[in-house]
A and B are shown apart, each in its own frame.
Chain A
Amino acid sequence: MTLPTISIVTPSLNQGRFLGGCMDSVLRQSYPRVEYVVIDGGSTDGSLEILRQHSKSLKYWRSAPDQGQIAALDEGFSKTSGEIMAWINSDDQYVPWAFQVVADVFQAFPQVEWLTTLYPLIMDEAGRVLSCRRTEGYNRTAFYRGRNLRREGGFYSFVIQQESTFWRRSLWERAGAHLDESLHLAGDFELWARFFSFADLYSLAVPLGCFRFQESSLSYEQGDLYRRECEEVLGRYGVKPPGRTEQHIRRWARNLPSRWLRIPRLAYCVKLVEHAGRGRSWILRQAWIV
């Protein structure tokens, strides 16, 4: 069986401090078939040096002022041809096993069209992992109702960690093969919303990527704008968030043991990918969340 190529795009702008770590985390994966594109928006901080050093390992790179991160990503993806796609921002990192595991799962299960982790990691500016958490998994209806958008009300559980999410090119093409360039920040969230209308998101029981927490993080400083854009995206799908009574029922139901959670009209099904025990084989499993 031939291994699928994994195409990764990094949009970069003045993150020279972290760019090297990010690129190493892509280029030092043990996986043999990686296609890496970096789109730099005209950095003035030493990023260019790092890019030049690595230029031999890159499929394509350029550095020039551009229309911002989302447009840069679209440009980057247009230069790729791999069957598996993802992007990583210039301050984030993959874990060393990410590509091999992701390729394995995509090869083992044709029905898996996009994939993220159950265990998102957050690291600090010095590259120390600060936090790991066990998320509950992801579901289409729950997503459209705001499960993965940080807002008040108690329905939110966790975001879909962008740096840990991978998809098949076929899904990308069915979803229009582009990001929404009318948005400034929430390009990932909007893409997930479109992906969900075609396929379920599976989550894998190993960490895949680390989000770097820094005080000047783009989506952090501008968290408010990000949230407003996400609200706007959810608005396009016209699904209502749970009301107060429903919230109370859900909060109560969350106390139940997980195997009793399969309550009709209340529970959402999440799809998980787990290790089968021996060797490198995987199994698909369903679980229920309320």
Chain B
Amino acid sequence: MIWPRISIVTPSFNQGAYLGSCLRSVLSQDYPNLDYIVIDGGSRDNSVEIIGRYESQLSTWLSEPDEGHFPALEKGFARASGEIMGWLNSDDLYLPWTLRVVGTIFAVLPEVRWITSQYPVLVDREGLAVQTRRLDGFNRRAFYRGRNVPLNPFFYTGFIQQESTFWRRSLWEQAGSHLDATLPLASEFELWARFWEHADLYAVGVPLAGFRVQPEQKTSWGQGRYLREAELVLDHYGQPRPGLLETMARRLLRLLPRRCWRWLPENVAYSSRVISATEVEHRSFVWRIVQEKFI
């Protein structure tokens, strides 16, 4: 198997306390074909010194004032050369196997254009994993109706965890090779919405990254604003969001035995695609795509 080239961008700004463990989590994987780019927004803490320590293992890095998180990311992606792309914020972490699992999946499953993990991990301030859970899979229509953003808390089940999401360059280019600068917080959500126009998201049955829960985080202080931005994005696609009646009906339908779900119509029980390694004759494992349903 030829390892596909993976480009990872880390945008950083005054996160010196966490930046070192972020960089180590990427570089200690020894992924054989890595293109790692760090874009610092002119940090005034020890960030630049930390980046300097790993300089020899980075493809590119720079430190200069920029217009914020998402413009920094765009700057990074413009310098990326890999066939597979993803980004890791300076306070988050990959797990020791992440890049090799991602590289393998994209190498053996050509029809897969973007993936995320079905088991998002939360890490605490010290970088310890404190929580995992298993998500439903993902579905285009369900996404546009608000399944992956907590606008209607009874329909919502879980975010698409950004640090666990990876895509092919062809998809990035088809979707316009950019992040939406008009959304200061929910740009990633808007990117997913554009990706969904072109390709289905596959859920991988392996944890891939840890999101660091910390009080000063942008996404927690801006939760309300994030939701309003996400709502704008969904409005643009114009899929009706489930009302109270539908939400109640769904809760009832979930009481049906799982094996009956496949008899329900597609707009009731959404189908999702999950990538999991299945055992073959107790001898080896093969990555396969299985279809699952959720209500």
Interface residues, chain A, with chain B CB atoms under 8 Å away: 30, 95-97, 100-101, 104, 118-119, 121-124, 126-134, 205-207, 213, 215, 220, 223, 255-257, 274-275, 278-280
Contact = CB atoms under 8 A, between A and B. Distances in A.
A101 B128 contact: yes
B191 interface: no
A88 B225 CA distance: 47
B197 interface: no
A280 B124 contact: yes
B96 A255 contact: no
Interface of B: 95-97, 100-101, 104, 119, 121-134, 205-207, 213, 254-258, 276-277, 282-285
A130 B285 contact: yes
For the complex of A and B, 9 pairs with smallest distance between CB atoms: A130-B277, A255-B257, A275-B131, A275-B130, A97-B128, A134-B134, A129-B97, A206-B129, A97-B129
Given A95-B95, A131-B277, A255-B258, A274 B131 contact: yes
A128 B127 contact: no
Contacts of B127: 30, 97
Contacts of B213: 278
A274 B96 CA distance: 23
A190 to B, nearest CB: 23
B211 to A, nearest CB: 13
Contact of B276 (A96, A124, A131): A131
Contacts of A101: 128-130
A206 B257 contact: no
Given A119-B119, A280-B124, A280-B126, A206 B131 contact: yes
Contacts of B207: 119, 121, 129, 132, 207
B100 A128 contact: yes
Contacts of B129: 95, 97, 101, 206-207
B132 A206 contact: yes
Given A131-B276, A280-B126, A205 B131 contact: yes
B128 A205 contact: no
Contacts of A255: 255-258
Contact of A220 (B123, B258, B276, B282): B282
A37 to B, nearest CB: 24
Contact of A129 (B101, B122, B283): B101
Given A207-B129, A279-B124, A95 B96 contact: yes
Given A205-B131, A275-B131, A280-B130, A132 B97 contact: no
Contacts of A97: 123, 127-129
